[in-house]
Structure 1
Amino acid sequence: MARGNWSFKAQNFFYLPLVLCFTAAFVDSLNEEGHFLLEFKKSLSDPNNNLGSWTNSSDSTPCNWMGVWCNTDFKVTSLILNGFNLSGTLSPSICNLSHLAELNVSKNFFFGQIPNDLVYCQNLEILDLCTNRFHGELLTPICNITKLRKLSLCENYMYGDMPEEIGNLNSLEELVIYSNNLTGNIPGSIGKLKQLKVIRAGINFLSGPIPTEISECESLKVLGLAQNRLEGSLPVELFKLQNLTDLILWQNRLSGFIPPEIGNLSSLELLALHVNYFSGLIPKELGKLSELQRLYIYTNRLNGTIPRELGNCTSAVQIDLSENQLSGFIPKELGNISNLQLLHLFENLLQGSIPEELGRLKLLENIDLSINNLTGTIPLEFQNLRYLVDFQLFDNHLEGTIPPELGVHSNLTILDMSANNLVGSIPSHLCRYGRLIFLSLGSNRLSGKIPYGLKTCKSLTQLMLGDNVLTGKLPVELYKLHNLSALELYQNRFLGPIPPEVGRLGNLERLLLADNHFIGNIPHEIGNLMKLVTFNVSSNKLSGSIPHELGNCINLQRLDLSRNQFTSDLPDNIGKLVKLELLKLSDNKLRGSIPSALGSLTRLTELQMGGNQFSGSIPVELGQLTVLQIALNISHNNLSGPIPSNLGNLQMLESLYLNDNQLVGEIPPLIGELPSLLVCNVSNNHLVGAVPNNTAFHKMDSSNFAGNNGLCRLDSYNCHPSLTSSTTRKRSWIKQGSSKEKLVTVISIVVGLISLFLIIGFCRAIKGRQPAFVVVDDRSKPDVLDNYYFPKDGFTYQDLVEATNNFSENAVIGRGACGTVYKAVMADGEVIAVKKLKSRGEGASVDSSFRAEISTLGKIRHRNIVKLHGFCYHQDSNLLLYQYMENGSLGEQLHGDGTSLLDWNARYKIALGAAEGLCYLHYDCKPQIIHRDIKSNNILLDEVLEAHVGDFGLAKLIDFPCSKSMSAVAGSYGYIAPEYAYTMKVTEKCDIYSFGVVLLELITGRSPVQPLEQGGDLVTLVRRSIKDAIPTIDIFDKRLDLSLQTTVNEMTLFLKIALFCTSTSPVNRPTMREVIAMMIDAREAVSKCSSPTSESPLEGDAQSRDCVEF
């Protein structure tokens, strides 16, 4: 087939006069096929004028037109218009081209249905309509174009079932229909396609079992059915496909055993079965797959040991068996896989020592054995690996020292050995080649000083050495590490002053020096750290005044100066820290009045100022802190005057501590109406009147109101506001009645008070030993079958059984890797969501770590976080009880069946709400929670479409005070940050990246996974679109009303934020608090300015371009 660049050239000048005389006739000389193409063009919009050569001019044929290919007879055989930025409908007139064999209009903006008349293109061999906006059912007529060899309809909005007639395409070699909305079963007729080599039907809603008939596609090389809803077991018949090289079935609902017959696939190079429900053993027959290069079976329910036969897979480059329930020892035979570059075995139940043979894998780049029960020492052989980049062993029981020459021979980038029992000193050469970015050695027993090699490691961005026994003064050299964004040295034995050179770390965002022996003042130079977000120097011996310059750290969001010896007044300019969400100043010697400037800190969610010497009245400005939620604590001071009534404005407040002051007057009625209040402690003041008479205050312990002679509960004996307003009236009440009655009354009061104090003392003692959120697991009592905690009475396991109809399929509202979610309608009409977790293994249902995790999660309360109501363990069932969300997930709203359109204003509010919830997990939970799987399906919507971040219940906790970092849950495909591929490290910046993808979903309406031809993900697709100068408005979701310029402007700003969040380098990504600020600023900017949007969202913004890194 030749390129159609043919043109007519007059060879005989005899015809020239004739041409001149009949110009009009010459203009009309364009052949019939040219007119068919012009007819086809009429239905298209061509903003880039790519079809400018398609004109009825001097050409006699269209063969030299852009995108047109012809044969030697000047017949159009191929029309290749991919990536031309065309929009419009697909005209069936194209089928008038009788010799057309290839039609490719992929990567455009065609919309509407694929015309039925396309069936008349009977000579078509290649039909590529990928990456457009076609909708409608997969048409049966297409299945009658029997010469088709390649059918590509991927990345559109096709829906409905795959037609049985697909079996008519007996010449078909490639079927590429991924990323649509196809439903139903895969038809068995697909087995008739004997020439079929490639099936790519992932990212749809296909259900049912994998048909055994696929095994009859004897030429099949690639079977890609990932990210569907396929169920059942792997058909044994599949393993007859001797030509199969790629078996891609990840993220479905497949279950059962992995059949041993899988060892018959002798040509297999890629096996991707991850994120399913496979159980049982890893078949030893995998060892027969000598061509296997990539083995991914992580995030399943596999148990037993790792078969040593895997060591026979000598071609393997990557092996990931993480997030299962594998036990036993790591087989030393894995050391035979000489080409291995990546080995992930994290989050299993592996035990024993690390085989030294692994340290002899000379090509090894990435090894993660974290979150197991490994013991013994770290083999010295690892220090000789020249290509080792990422080395993670955290959260095990390893002992001994870190290999002393680690880093001498390799370009280490990531090293995490935190949460072990390592001793000795930190090796000197970890940063020998200046590539080390992330170092986490916290929660060990390392001693000595920080080595010189780290003090000069300029590549370091995060240095986390907290919770060890390191000693010495803070080395001045550390403050030359200008790339540092996190310096965590808490819970060590550092001493001396904090050097003023700390002010040189201009990129520092997190400075944690708590629980050491630092003395002296906070240096004034701290005010130079303009990017500082978290500053914690609590539990030291710092003294003097709080520096005025601290007010220059305008990005501070968490400030903890508690448990020191600071004196003097609190500086007024602390009110400049308007981004603060947590402020802890408790247990110092601060004096003077509480500054009214605190009322400017309107983002505060927690304010702790107890245990000081503050005097004067409570400033009424505290009533402006309307997002205070966790606590307002100004107890144990010398405050006087009445309780300001405008504290009743704190509608989200859960804990209010005003106890042990000199407050007078009554408890304002508005405080009694606070809907979220759980604790209100006003004990040991001079308050009078009645305690508010509502349900919340009825549940509070009486000790919260003790020590106020004029205060009583309305539901108690002889408590009337008129009788408690003055001492005089109390005396007159005591004087009533006879002497005998008085004596009885006095004795009753004395006995009652003694009993009350004894009860209070006992309750306080018990309370001091128990967490606020209780999960009981009493295995010493065999008769106890149910262990549960609920915030209110009346729920039992049996109630849950009845509410879910014995956990029937009809009650299922969701499934995931963590477990199954049921809708439970309780007897009183309340609806809750019950998540039945995957089994954690026999005897491990409620172990101490799980109990601690649930206890922590139970304390989380935020309006944008799905509430965890309780936990129940019954025999082998672990149940989590969540708040029910009426409108399902954001993913369902954007991409699901029966999609209900969300307008832009709704999407804005959802994005902001989700950001607030995620920000709370990052900054206000202790220990910090990194979600690890942010995606649109984990953002749930209530009845008014307010966003609630969900599925954090099983997210691994990252306790910054213990420097425990995790990489176990990588997230969902399309949302995973790029650095995870080489660091296997999950930080809060991974959550930021995932959230940026969610923003892109809201903006574009597209799913996070995109065709491989466009990079495979939404981020790459959008970046390429911008790089190719595609107008911004064409990137936006066409289902939205884009006629309003303010909407387009705001979406453009959100596109910038999304690209900022998805920067390739985690260092360039904003924090979650910065994301929220940018969202709010975007709406404010649009409301103030209605300037038209630029064609490129980053046009003229060089700084943003650098951050986006195209």
Structure 2
Amino acid sequence: MEEIGIYEFPRLVSFYLPQFPIVKQQMNLPINGKMINLRNRLKNLKEKGQQEGKWSNSTSRNINIYQRKSLLIISSTLLLSYLLIYFQAALQVLVHVLASDIGNSTLLKELVIYSNNLTGTIPVSLSKLKSLRIIRAGWNFLSGPIPAEISKCERLEVLGLAHNRLQSSFPIELQKLENLTDLVLWQNLLSGEIPPEIGNFSSLEVLVLHDNSFSGSLPKEIGRLTNLKRLYIYTNQLNSTIPRELGNCLSAVDIDLSENRLSGFIPKELGQIPNLRLLHLFENLLQGSIPRELGQLKRLQKLDLSINNLTGTIPVEFQNLTFLEDIQLYDNCLQGRIPPFIGVNSNLSILDMSTNNLVELGQLRNLERLLLSDNYFVGFILPEIGQLVQLVIFNLSSNRLSGSIPYELGNCTKLQRLDLSRNRFTGYLPNEIGELVNLELLKLSDNSFSGHLPCTLGGLARLTELQMGGNFFSGSIPVELGQLVSLQIALNISQNGFSGTIPENLGNLQMLEALYLNDNQLFSEIPVSIGELMSLIVCNLSNNNLVGTLPYTPAFQKMDSSNFPGNYGLCGLNVSHCHPLSPSWVKEGSSKEKHVSIISVTVGLMSLFFTVGVCWLIKGRQLAFVSLEEQVKPEKVDNYYFPKEGFTYQDLVESSGNFSEDAIIGKGACGTVYKAVMVDGKVIAVKKLKSHGGGASVDSSFQAEISTLGKISHRNIVKLYGFCYRQDSNVLLYEYMANGSLGERLHGNEQTFLLDWDTRYKIALGAAEGLCYLHYDCKPQIIHCDIKSNNILLDDSLQAHVGDFGLAKLIDFPYSKSLSGVAGSYGYIAPEYAYTMKATEKCDIYSFGVILLELITGKFPVQPLEQGGSLVNCVRRSIHAAVPMSEIYDKRLDLSARKVIEEMSLVLKIALFCTSTSPLNRPTMREVIAMMIDTRKSVSNPPSSPTSETPSDEDDSSRG
């Protein structure tokens, strides 16, 4: 194979090789400092591919490899697998090439090599490239200092080195670059002070230094940058005041100095920057009042001064900001009223003034997010609230509001989150609250609401959390609550006056994790269906009048006895004291009355038990007869779609004990999974899908989907053997996984958790390869839509298999999961889904990143609200607060080996990439696999510390 160095392209002016996922394959290619002639080699492969029929005309049109005059371009929108391997192998020599040969391409004008996992230092030989205008080498693993020699590239306009491991102080020498317009160095390990010489960068338009460790003062000389348009220095350790000279940057469009330690006052001079669109100064130590002059920023769109110590009132001049879209002033000490006409003449959609001392609302229109919690607002919610028809989030919690909720609130049908908790509201809940069909969170706790809960609540099918504790609700618990099948985080109606029995159909809430019914007046027994909720973690039933035996189920066996005190008729499991004949509802009275009551209750219970026992025996025999003689008998309406297997419905019934409770190995939103041992000893998993009324049904499109999924074969995908449709049920037959799910292993008891990091790494890599297969090798592409640790199943050798793929598309389950039928499970849902309601492969990437965090930390994906509410936020907060890595990692792991620590650190960085807020910043599954493989091979390199923030959504020029 002919090899050629870059120096043999002496007239090369541009070298583009961005966003390439390097995997170091075993190719036995000589590493001799010369780059392979990609153009000739690809030409040969292209010709060979066409001869073999592997390269179609359409393919060739998507591969562009050409040298035109002095420009070499390699661009591709479609790469065959063998080309991919070849590119990856060729790129192994790129680092050495850059270090030794690139200085010979003296006419080179543009060097674009970002997102390639490159390591090593920046070559000093770049200083020879006198014609160089653009360097974009961000999103790599480059280390060491920024060479002062780069200042010799006199024509350099753009220097992008973001998201690397560069360690040095601010490169003062770069001030010699008179043409430099863009300096992009975010998310490195740069430290020290920003020098006064920054004022000499006279042509600078973009300065991006965020997510480093710069300290000291923000130099006043920055005000000399009259061409500066974008200034991002957030998430550093600056500890000075904001210089008033910053107001001289009259060309500025965006200024973000948030998340530092800046103190003092906000300079009024900032109000003289005519085109300022964004001003973010949140999470500093700023004090004093908000300058009225900020009301002169006529083009201001986003203002965030939250989490400071600001006092005084909100300037009335803010009413004049007609372009304002987002204003956030929460967590300050502001007083007085919200200006009455703020947002009236603009497209204001986000207003967050929580945690202040405000006392009066203004006239707000066009809002999507109204957040005013933790203030001193008094008065009522007026009927005009119904005019805010665009409202998505409404939070008035922790104020002093009173009165009833106006029925006009039902007009706000776009509402997804409604929090009126911790106020002084009274009266009945209006029936119209059931018209808020998009609600995901409803919190009305700690008020003085009374009366019955409206049955219309059962129509809130997307609700994931319902909090109504600490009120004066009475009557029975509406059976309609059993229709809220998306409830997952909590159902809390504690500390009210509910009476009667616990509805049996609360057992339909298959995803519910916390149930609070404590401190009411409920009586009778606990429904068995509640005990069968396998997702249930907390079930507080204390201080009621419940009797009988606690359900002997796995969910209740794990619960602490503190969930049940104050029910003197309860016994079993962890409840040590049981007084079934002295329930608290036996009122005080004479001794004779007590004896009569006890005798009556005793006789009544004995009669009831005898009657129930006889009925049970008779019914049991009848059911047994029906099961053996009728249900097992195949009917003409059965349909089977088994590619290879010859199971019948009768086989399934017999092998699973007629789908008995003992055979259950899992329950989910789509159905129940049973273990079935066939006559020949083969073990399979049978998922019995939920029926939604009207009997089961199947059509040609469903059959086609089953046929497609049945053909999928990959070592990391759970094999779908087939599907059986019967008049009363639909069942899917899967390969049986002996070691259950990853979720069970991580969060189960001490005997089952995964002991070593190596096992966890291999499971993560296997799951990634399975998901990659769904994304890239299935035609049509399959978006999983519900990636979570419970859907990563483990065989007898602990190899990972992705399960439940394709179900989101197959199953007509309109309200499954936490947001919609294809949204995923709480804690794993990508943030953009709440706004787009569209599932993409980047949603799967986010969910996979959460699984990586589970493997690293050993924690659940849902965390307490005070820790961020989710594992992603919890980890990012910990990193931002400089919490030691040893406190983040799972303490059950053996962390004594340096290799393990380094590898976990790199996988943590991958997890943070995957869970970036913006889907554009997330890698593909191919890139994830590449990074994971490279991680294992490069643990000898010192890992960087992940940052607490994912990259912001800046335009391409600031990406590095």
How far the C-alpha of 1:380 sits from its partner, in A, is 0.2
Q: Does 1:600 align with 2:508?
A: yes
DSSP-derived class of the 2:221 partner: helix
**CA spacing shift, 1:594–1:638, aligned 2, 3 Å:** same
Quick check: 1:939–1:948 contact (8 Å CA) kept in 2? no
Quick check: 1:47–1:86 contact (8 Å CA) kept in 2? no
TM-score w.r.t. the length of structure 2 is 0.60
| Distance in 2 separating the partners of 1:953 and 1:226 | 35
How far the C-alpha of 1:406 sits from its partner, in A, is 0.1
Corresponding residue to 2:827 among 897, 915, 918: 918
Corresponding residue to 2:924 among 1001, 1005, 1019: 1001
Residue matched to 1:332: 244
| Distance in 2 separating the partners of 1:920 and 1:100 | 49
Residue matched to 1:106: 75
| Distance in 1 separating the partners of 2:572 and 2:487 | 31
**Alpha-carbon displacement from aligned partner over 1:362-383 (angstroms, at most 9, x marks no partner):** 1111000000110000000011
**CA spacing shift, 1:888–1:325, aligned 2, 3 Å:** farther
**Alpha-carbon displacement from aligned partner over 1:223-271 (angstroms, at most 9, x marks no partner):** 2211111111222222222211111111111112113222222211111
Query: Which residues of 2 match residues 973-988 of structure 1 at below 5 A?
Result: none
Q: Which amino acid aligns with 2:579?
A: H
Query: Which residues of 2 match residues 190-229 of structure 1 at below 5 A?
Result: 190-229=102-141
Q: Does 1:472 align with 2:384?
A: no
Residue matched to 1:1094: none
Quick check: 2:849–2:915 contact (8 Å CA) kept in 1? no
Corresponding residue to 2:225 among 313, 316, 321: 313
Query: Which residues of 2 match residues 1018-1097 of structure 1 at below 5 A?
Result: none
Q: Which amino acid aligns with 2:519?
A: G
Quick check: 2:830–2:846 contact (8 Å CA) kept in 1? no
**CA spacing shift, 1:427–1:309, aligned 2, 3 Å:** same
Q: Does 1:663 align with 2:569?
A: yes
**CA spacing shift, 1:995–1:913, aligned 2, 3 Å:** farther
**Alpha-carbon displacement from aligned partner over 1:552-584 (angstroms, at most 9, x marks no partner):** 111111111110001111111211111112100
**CA spacing shift, 1:501–1:916, aligned 2, 3 Å:** same
Query: Which residues of 2 match residues 823-862 of structure 1 at below 5 A?
Result: none
**CA spacing shift, 1:270–1:998, aligned 2, 3 Å:** closer
Residue matched to 1:498: 405
**CA spacing shift, 1:509–1:318, aligned 2, 3 Å:** same
* Runs of at least 5 residues in structure 1 that lack an aligned partner in the other structure: 1-34, 52-80, 115-131, 139-157, 165-185, 668-679, 689-861, 870-881, 924-931, 960-964, 970-989, 1009-1063, 1065-1110
Quick check: 1:893–1:901 contact (8 Å CA) kept in 2? no
How far the C-alpha of 1:590 sits from its partner, in A, is 0.6
**Alpha-carbon displacement from aligned partner over 1:699-746 (angstroms, at most 9, x marks no partner):** xxxxxxxxxxxxxxxxxxxxxxxxxxxxxxxxxxxxxxxxxxxxxxxx
DSSP-derived class of the 1:555 partner: coil
Quick check: 2:845–2:925 contact (8 Å CA) kept in 1? no
Q: Which amino acid aligns with 1:235?
A: P
| Distance in 2 separating the partners of 1:258 and 1:388 | 31
How far the C-alpha of 1:947 sits from its partner, in A, is 10
Residue matched to 2:937: none
**CA spacing shift, 1:947–1:207, aligned 2, 3 Å:** same
How far the C-alpha of 1:407 sits from its partner, in A, is 3.1
Once the two structures are overlaid, the 10-residue window that deviates more, 348-357 or 100-109, is: 100-109
How far the C-alpha of 1:661 sits from its partner, in A, is 0.7
Greater radius of gyration (CA): 1
Higher RCO (C-alpha under 8 Å, 6+ residues apart): 2
**CA spacing shift, 1:910–1:240, aligned 2, 3 Å:** farther
DSSP-derived class of the 1:257 partner: coil
Q: Which amino acid aligns with 1:661?
A: N
Residue matched to 2:579: 686
**CA spacing shift, 1:321–1:638, aligned 2, 3 Å:** same
Residue matched to 2:143: 231
How far the C-alpha of 1:50 sits from its partner, in A, is 6.2
Quick check: 1:890–1:937 contact (8 Å CA) kept in 2? no
DSSP-derived class of the 1:391 partner: strand
**Alpha-carbon displacement from aligned partner over 1:1006-1061 (angstroms, at most 9, x marks no partner):** 999xxxxxxxxxxxxxxxxxxxxxxxxxxxxxxxxxxxxxxxxxxxxxxxxxxxxx
| Distance in 2 separating the partners of 1:571 and 1:337 | 62
Q: Which amino acid aligns with 2:565?
A: N
**Alpha-carbon displacement from aligned partner over 1:8-64 (angstroms, at most 9, x marks no partner):** xxxxxxxxxxxxxxxxxxxxxxxxxxx99997894486999669xxxxxxxxxxxxx
Residue matched to 2:496: 588
Q: Which amino acid aligns with 1:402?
A: I
Residue matched to 2:282: 370
Q: Which amino acid aligns with 1:106?
A: S
DSSP-derived class of the 2:378 partner: strand
Corresponding residue to 2:367 among 453, 457, 460: 460
How far the C-alpha of 1:663 sits from its partner, in A, is 2.9
| Distance in 1 separating the partners of 2:844 and 2:47 | 49
Quick check: 1:910–1:947 contact (8 Å CA) kept in 2? no
Quick check: 2:494–2:520 contact (8 Å CA) kept in 1? yes
Residue matched to 1:535: 442
**CA spacing shift, 1:307–1:1006, aligned 2, 3 Å:** same
Quick check: 1:364–1:387 contact (8 Å CA) kept in 2? yes
Query: Which residues of 2 match residues 411-426 of structure 1 at below 5 A?
Result: 411-426=323-338
| Distance in 2 separating the partners of 1:102 and 1:866 | 53
Q: Does 1:278 align with 2:186?
A: no
**Alpha-carbon displacement from aligned partner over 1:396-417 (angstroms, at most 9, x marks no partner):** 0000001112031431000000
Q: Does 1:645 align with 2:552?
A: yes
| Distance in 1 separating the partners of 2:346 and 2:745 | 41
Q: Which amino acid aligns with 1:686?
A: H
Residue matched to 2:521: 613
Q: Does 1:488 align with 2:395?
A: yes
| Distance in 1 separating the partners of 2:193 and 2:766 | 38
Aligned residues: 638
**CA spacing shift, 1:284–1:910, aligned 2, 3 Å:** farther
**Alpha-carbon displacement from aligned partner over 1:751-773 (angstroms, at most 9, x marks no partner):** xxxxxxxxxxxxxxxxxxxxxxx
How far the C-alpha of 1:489 sits from its partner, in A, is 1.0
| Distance in 2 separating the partners of 1:659 and 1:427 | 51
| Distance in 2 separating the partners of 1:317 and 1:937 | 37
| Distance in 1 separating the partners of 2:748 and 2:243 | 40
| Distance in 1 separating the partners of 2:831 and 2:74 | 45
**CA spacing shift, 1:888–1:193, aligned 2, 3 Å:** farther
Residue matched to 1:635: 542
* Runs of at least 5 residues in structure 2 that lack an aligned partner in the other structure: 1-42, 582-741, 776-781, 791-823, 833-842, 871-875, 881-912, 932-952, 954-960
| Distance in 1 separating the partners of 2:384 and 2:541 | 40
How far the C-alpha of 1:111 sits from its partner, in A, is 2.8
Quick check: 2:787–2:844 contact (8 Å CA) kept in 1? no
DSSP-derived class of the 1:566 partner: strand
**CA spacing shift, 1:45–1:399, aligned 2, 3 Å:** farther
How far the C-alpha of 1:649 sits from its partner, in A, is 3.9
How far the C-alpha of 1:163 sits from its partner, in A, is 4.9
Quick check: 2:862–2:869 contact (8 Å CA) kept in 1? no
Residue matched to 1:27: none
Quick check: 1:351–1:373 contact (8 Å CA) kept in 2? yes
Q: Does 1:137 align with 2:89?
A: yes
**CA spacing shift, 1:561–1:343, aligned 2, 3 Å:** same
| Distance in 2 separating the partners of 1:161 and 1:516 | 63
Q: Which amino acid aligns with 1:598?
A: L
DSSP-derived class of the 2:317 partner: coil
DSSP-derived class of the 1:187 partner: helix
**CA spacing shift, 1:890–1:484, aligned 2, 3 Å:** farther
How far the C-alpha of 1:922 sits from its partner, in A, is 9.1
DSSP-derived class of the 1:573 partner: helix
**CA spacing shift, 1:585–1:952, aligned 2, 3 Å:** closer
Q: Does 1:552 align with 2:475?
A: no
